[in-house]
């Protein structure tokens, strides 16, 4: 018999994910803030955990937050009471900048270094009371102190989690540092450490402020990528409010990084990027959408399977299914009524669909030892969207078709691939949920949202907004005097290309790169990069804005050249 489960928002799951950084170290790659920013944008997380230890961190955090939209969990650093107290004194200034989403107690002050500097668990527990009072005054949630030592057979390998008593009245969240050993499953370890965190905050939900795998301890990069995906969903399933992966880059503590220090992703970074990309919901008002139930059942289960059902504001369901204990085995999803389209994705490797079936009630897959995603587009979603504003809304699940808007078109929803879409003359919403589509903006002022890869977007004659959550897509800017483009998404770290040829064809540029700066001008305003064209190339010539790259604060023309076709 099918089970009926109410979905959660896809964006709700993504909002629980975060990553640890060490901008406070000013080394290991963290001294290069533009690369740090592009790395965070690539991962698609909005939560960052770090420790503000000096005035320089105030400026650095503000810069990163402005460029990427992230907010920081500010933990008190390991060290002497004086060092911790100084960091505590900076919290007000960081909060005034609007960059914080939480304040956290002392970080593993039971380790050898902190103890050698005169710190103690007694002092740290006392400080927790001060931190909670400050959090209350600032309106910020407070996370409990963390523990990293004290693992003995005498205390049943509980570490120091039970050493300070129950601090529930001085914290909003318990704190778990979760580092699975080789051979230990992610879910088992998360549940065990969550239980230990309850010893120090029995009535509070838990945040896993650190979870990671050190390559130096025998973990292969390919396996860590799977573990990251497992932990992302295990954390939600087990009730964790947030899960922070350790860490963005390798550091003095080991090779934990999701990304390399030059901003290129390791396999774990690719997997997390693919996951956040597939679950992204760019629709305005997505956060206020109310998810609905979906009835489904699986055949071929053997007992270790886990599922999390999500829904986007376009009505599509995204079902995560995985079995980290039993490994690969065949599984069949069955729906009580036919869906307009069912797709299978594996975020470990790609954002492209492995299977696509239209008008079906079932999908058979080989279940993996890490989460795969099944997208279900109900017929009712397509029908409702069409009926809501027909004939102004065009919806298609076909592939390799041609769709054209007109003056009355308000929205075009494309669920196929290989389609050619042309916007109308109004303020169209054009959404292409898969790759390999060609989209022309038309003569209006469209908003174009694309996912997948190998899409081609041609900016029309009106102002065009392009939101790209995919990879390896091409955005072609129009001729001089045509429309400008507001471009959103992490295009410079996702392999996208800006095709400048039609634009430059309307200038006096002769094709030599040395003089290109006379014709294309790149400036930075706040957290954005503005591209302007000067048709004459003369210093006294007029220039016109042609594109704004939102969220890129430090890009130069030379930095854009590798991403351009001239």
Checking if the pLDDT of 528 tops 70, the result is: yes
Checking if the pLDDT of 104 tops 90, the result is: yes
Instruction: Judge if 12-279 and 293-378 fold alike in CATH terms.
Output: no
Q: Where are the alpha helices (DSSP H) in 279-378?
A: none
Checking if the pLDDT of 6 tops 60, the result is: yes
Checking if the pLDDT of 447 tops 90, the result is: no
Checking if the pLDDT of 326 tops 90, the result is: no
* pLDDT score, position 553: 63
Q: At 154, is the pLDDT very low, low, confident or very high (cuts 50, 70, 90)?
A: very high
Q: Where are the alpha helices (DSSP H) in 259-394?
A: 267-278, 379-389
Across-strand partners of 254?
251
Take residue 559 and report the two structure tokens written for it.
Answer: 């930095």
Mean pLDDT of 359-381: 93
Checking if the pLDDT of 332 tops 80, the result is: yes
CATH architecture assigned to 293-378: Sandwich (2.60)
Q: Where are the alpha helices (DSSP H) in 203-359?
A: 221-237, 267-278
Sorted by where each begins, the domain ranges of the chain are 12-279, 293-378, 392-563
Q: At 423, is the pLDDT very low, low, confident or very high (cuts 50, 70, 90)?
A: confident
Q: At 544, is the pLDDT very low, low, confident or very high (cuts 50, 70, 90)?
A: confident
Checking if the pLDDT of 2 tops 70, the result is: no
Across-strand partners of 174?
206
Mean pLDDT of 488-502: 85
Mean pLDDT of 188-213: 98
Indicate the class that CATH gives domain 12-279. alpha beta
- Cβ atoms within 10 A of the Cβ of 27, count? 11
* From 55-59, 181-185, 228-232, 503-507, the region with the lowest mean pLDDT: 503-507
Checking if the pLDDT of 388 tops 50, the result is: no
* pLDDT score, position 119: 95
Task: Report whether 311 contacts 291 (CB < 8 A).
Answer: yes
* pLDDT score, position 386: 43
- Classify strands 329-345 and 306-311 as parallel, antiparallel or unpaired: unpaired
Mean pLDDT of 420-441: 87
d(CA 497, CA 500): 9
* pLDDT score, position 389: 40
* pLDDT score, position 108: 97
* pLDDT score, position 134: 97
* pLDDT score, position 480: 58
pTM of the prediction? Answer: 0.73
Residues in the chain: 566
Mean pLDDT of 373-381: 89
Q: What is the pLDDT of residues 165-174, one digit of tens each?
A: 999 999 999 9
Mean pLDDT of 460-476: 86
**Closest by CA position to 520, among listed 507, 508, 509, 534:** 534
Checking if the pLDDT of 385 tops 50, the result is: no
Mean pLDDT of 245-251: 98
* pLDDT score, position 408: 67
Checking if the pLDDT of 8 tops 90, the result is: yes
d(CA 401, CA 348): 30
Mean pLDDT of 279-291: 80
Mean pLDDT of 438-447: 87
Mean pLDDT of 400-423: 82
Share of the chain above pLDDT 70, in %: 95
Q: What is the pLDDT of residues 13-61, one digit of tens each?
A: 999 999 999 999 999 999 999 999 999 999 999 999 999 999 999 999 9
Mean pLDDT of 116-128: 96
**Closest by CA position to 5, among listed 232, 297, 312, 276:** 297
Task: Report whether 550 contacts 486 (CB < 8 A).
Answer: yes
- CA torsion 389-390-392-393 (nearest 10°) is 80
**Closest by CA position to 276, among listed 41, 552, 551, 21:** 41
Mean pLDDT of 356-363: 96
Query: In whole numbers, what is the pLDDT of the chain averaged over residues?
Result: 91
Task: Report whether 509 contacts 503 (CB < 8 A).
Answer: no
Q: What is the pLDDT of residues 456-467, one digit of tens each?
A: 999 888 888 898
Q: At 384, is the pLDDT very low, low, confident or very high (cuts 50, 70, 90)?
A: low
Checking if the pLDDT of 204 tops 70, the result is: yes
């Amino acid at each position: 018999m099918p089970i009926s489960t109410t979905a959660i928002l896809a964006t709700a799951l993504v909002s629980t994910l975060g990553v640890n950084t060490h901008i406070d170290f000013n080394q290991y790659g963290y001294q290069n803030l533009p690369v740090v920013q592009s790395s965070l944008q690539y991962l698609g997380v909005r939560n960052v955990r770090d420790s503000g230890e000096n005035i320089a961190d105030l400026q650095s955090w503000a810069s990163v937050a402005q460029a990427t939209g992230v907010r920081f969990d500010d933990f008190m650093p390991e060290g002497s009471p004086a060092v911790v107290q100084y960091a505590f004194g900076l919290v007000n200034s960081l909060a005034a900048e609007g960059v914080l989403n939480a304040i956290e107690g002392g970080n593993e002050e039971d380790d050898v270094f902190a103890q050698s500097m005169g710190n103690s668990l007694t002092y740290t527990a006392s400080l927790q009371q001060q931190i909670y009072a400050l959090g209350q005054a600032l309106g910020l949630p407070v996370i409990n102190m963390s523990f990293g030592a004290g693992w003995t057979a005498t205390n049943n390998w509980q570490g120091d989690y039970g050493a300070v008593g129950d601090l529930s009245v001085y914290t909003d969240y318990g704190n778990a540092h979760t580092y699975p050993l080789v051979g230990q499953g992610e879910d088992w370890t998360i549940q065990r450490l969550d239980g230990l965190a309850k010893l120090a905050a029995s009535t509070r939900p838990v945040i896993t402020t650190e979870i990671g795998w050190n390559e130096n301890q025998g973990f292969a990069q390919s396996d860590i990528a799977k573990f990251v995906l497992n932990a992302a969903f295990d954390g939600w399933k087990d009730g964790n409010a947030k899960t922070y992966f350790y860490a963005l880059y390798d550091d003095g503590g080991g090779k934990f990084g999701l990304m390399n220090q030059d901003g290129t992703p390791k396999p774990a970074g690719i997997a997390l990027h693919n996951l956040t990309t597939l679950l992204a919901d760019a629709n305005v008002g997505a956060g206020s959408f109310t998810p609905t139930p979906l009835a489904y059942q699986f055949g071929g289960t053997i007992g270790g399977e886990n599922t999390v059902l999500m829904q986007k504001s376009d009505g599509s369901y995204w079902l995560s299914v995985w079995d980290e204990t039993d490994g690969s085995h065949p599984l069949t999803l069955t729906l009580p009524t036919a869906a307009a389209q069912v797709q299978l994705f594996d975020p470990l490797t790609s954002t492209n669909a492995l299977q696509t079936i239209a008008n079906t009630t079932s999908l058979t897959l080989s279940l993996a030892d890490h989460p795969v995603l099944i997208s279900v587009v109900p017929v009712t979603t397509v029908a409702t969207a069409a009926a809501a504003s027909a004939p102004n809304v065009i919806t298609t699940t076909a592939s390799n078709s041609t769709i054209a808007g007109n003056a009355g078109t308000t929205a075009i929803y494309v669920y196929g691939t290989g389609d050619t879409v042309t916007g109308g003359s109004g303020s169209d919403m054009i959404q292409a949920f898969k790759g390999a589509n060609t989209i022309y903006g038309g003569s209006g002022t469209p908003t174009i949202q694309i996912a997948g890869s190998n899409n081609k977007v041609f900016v029309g004659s009106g102002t065009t907004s392009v939101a790209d959550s995919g990879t390896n897509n091409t955005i072609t800017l129009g001729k001089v005097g045509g429309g400008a483009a507001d471009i959103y998404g992490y295009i410079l770290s996702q392999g996208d290309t800006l095709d400048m040829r039609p634009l430059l064809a309307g200038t006096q540029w002769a094709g030599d790169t040395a003089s290109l700066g006379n014709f294309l001008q790149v400036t930075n305003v706040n957290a954005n990069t503005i591209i302007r064209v000067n048709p004459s190339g003369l210093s006294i010539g007029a220039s016109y804005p042609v594109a704004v790259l939102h969220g890129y604060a430090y890009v130069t023309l030379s930095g854009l050249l590798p991403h351009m076709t001239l």
